[in-house]
Each structure stands twice: as structure tokens, then as C-alpha cells.
Amino acid sequence: MKKFFTIVPRWLPSLLLMLSIFAFSSRTSSELPNFHGWDYFIKKSAHAFGYGLLALSYLHMFKWDKRYYWLAWLLAVLYSATDEFHQSFVPGRHAAATDVLVFDNLGAIIALTSHYLYRSRNERED
């Protein structure tokens, strides 16, 4: 039972983010807000931001260990692919490989790279 209480807090942010992403992609196209001229930019930025946070939450799950940056990235991209597949079953929505390969991938890479650089700078200062 003791191990349960050390593992669950590490998994919780990832699980909550995955649930949030799933909930957003379950909405039909008519339920989604329309940002008019900014629609594409806002929605693709949200993709990048969401998957950047997801990648960081995976890294948190691995106790911020440097050896697992690649795995945090891979898990974020794999979840992105499964979410796009799920989205293909939602009325008025479609799966887009560009969301996975460009926006979600870049979001994860930018977040993890930023964390790595921030961490490296702080380790040098110590």
C-alpha cells in the first residue's frame, strides 16, 4: 500500500491531462468554439501547448530523470496518435496526421527542450 501512495501522485497529472485531451477531442465540431480568423492558430497552439504539458507530466512521472526525456516525448506522440484515431469516430471531426507529426510533436519537443535547458542552466549555477 505504501508503494501505491508514492506511484499515484506521479501518474495523476498525466492521467488528468489525458482525460482532458480525450474530453476535448470527444466534442463534435458543432460544439467547438469558432475563433473566426484566429481559429486555426488558436486550435493548433492549443494542440502544441496540451501535448507539451503532457510530455512534461510524463517526465514528472519518471521523476525528472534525464534518461527518460525520449520516453516522455514518445509517450506524448503515441497518445497524440491514439487521440487522433479516437477523434476520427466523432461526428464532424477527422483525424489529421499533421496534428500528430507537427503540432503535438513540436509541442512536446519544445516543452521538453525548454525544461532540459532550464535544468542544465540551473545545475551549472549550483
For the chain, what are the domain ranges? 2-27+37-125
**Mean pLDDT, rounded, for 54-73:** 97
What value does the mean pLDDT of the chain take? 94
Percentage of the chain lying above the pLDDT 70 cut: 96
**Mean pLDDT, rounded, for 65-72:** 97
Q: Residue 70's CB: how many other CB atoms inside 10 A?
A: 10
**Mean pLDDT, rounded, for 3-10:** 77
Q: Is the pLDDT of residue 1 over 80?
A: no
Q: Is the pLDDT of residue 8 over 90?
A: no
**In residues, how long is the chain?**
126
Q: Which residues of 97-116 are buried (b: 16+ CB within 10 A; e: fewer)?
A: eebbeebbbebbbebbeebe
d(CA 117, CA 113): 6
